[in-house]
Amino acid sequence: MISEHHYFTLLYIWIVLAVVTFPVLLRITAPYGRHTKDTWGPTINNRLGWLLMEAPVVIVFSWFFFTGSATKTIPVYIFFSLFMLHYANRILIFPFRMKTKGKRMPWSIIFLAVFFNFFNGFFNGYWFGTLSPVYNISWLYDPRFIVGVILFFAGMYINVSSDNMLFDLRKGGKTGYYIPTGGLFKYVSSPNLFGEIVEWLGWAIMAWCLPGLSFALWTMANLIPRALDHHRWYHRRFENYPKERKAIIPKVL
Ligand code: NDP
């Protein structure tokens, strides 16, 4: 559909955009979840919003993956399956476990997320569907694959278990916000976001390709500023918030 040359030109632009987005997001708080505002235009039900913003990446990635003519081997099907595993949780489980009845998010956030997800799905789907060199079965024994898989599952475990701890804070019909404890919350305010970064770094390492790296960079550009916003919010909200707790990277940031 597009030549390799054009693909890489677009991909480099996409990576530069991630680098530029990072300092912008350090200044702007994305208004959803605890930071929701009604000054960003019309809003939509929170749960439906999550579905709409995350579903496109699955469709776009799958479309380009399956319609492309590249030789697909077991390692490539593993990359595909792990990507889908994450999004099965994000689309089919996470929104229905959130205890955010009646909450809303701005349509503008949905449009921005769909834009990101479209291009992320395209760059990775087109790569593995059409352009990627063949990953031989021996890739399964390569240290990059092994380290990547370990990081992916460790990150996913941290992400999902930390999200679950947050949901539990509203058990028994409670609403509002509480200081989370347990697990990696001992060290950071947003272990769920930390876990997601580790997950996509792992995915990029196991696939060892530029589009995978671009996704990991975008994840960092989105989630580090969001975690810093969450952290500042906790300190404003709770006078007794643990002083030693960092924002996202244990002992570091
Ligand atoms: P948060 O940690 O802010 O919230 C997760 C859920 O827990 C929400 O339902 C929230 O409710 C609730 N919650 C959070 N803190 C508390 C608290 N102190 N007390 C009670 N309930 C609480 O997550 P984000 O919205 O930042 O992210 C959600 C998930 O989506 C994460 O797993 C993250 O990794 C992922 N994500 C991925 C992105 C990417 O670029 N790949 C971008 C953004 C998110 P409420 O909504 O009412 O605040």
Place of tokens 């992400």: 159
Is ligand 1 within 6 A of the CB of residue 53?
Answer: no
**What is the pTM assigned to this prediction?**
0.96
φ, ψ (nearest 5 deg) of residue 190:
-130, 70
Place of tokens 């235009």: 41
Is ligand 1 within 6 A of the CB of residue 219?
Answer: yes
Environment class of 63 (CB within 10 Å of its CB; exposed 0-12, middle 13-18, buried 19+): middle
Q: Is the pLDDT of residue 247 over 90?
A: yes
The Cα 45–Cα 104 span in angstroms is: 4
Q: Whose CA is nearest to atom 1 of ligand 1?
A: 33
pLDDT tens column, 54-69: 999 999 999 999 999 9
pLDDT tens column, 115-146: 999 999 999 999 999 999 999 999 999 999 99
Q: What is the CA radius of gyration of the chain?
A: 19
Q: How far is the CA of 76 from the centre of ligand 1 (A)?
A: 30
The Cα 24–Cα 227 span in angstroms is: 14
Contacts for 84 with CB less than 8 Å, ≥ 6 apart:
58, 62
> In testing the pocket of ligand 1, which one of 32, 34, 197 has its CB within 8 Å of the most ligand atoms?
34
pLDDT tens column, 41-54: 899 999 999 999 99
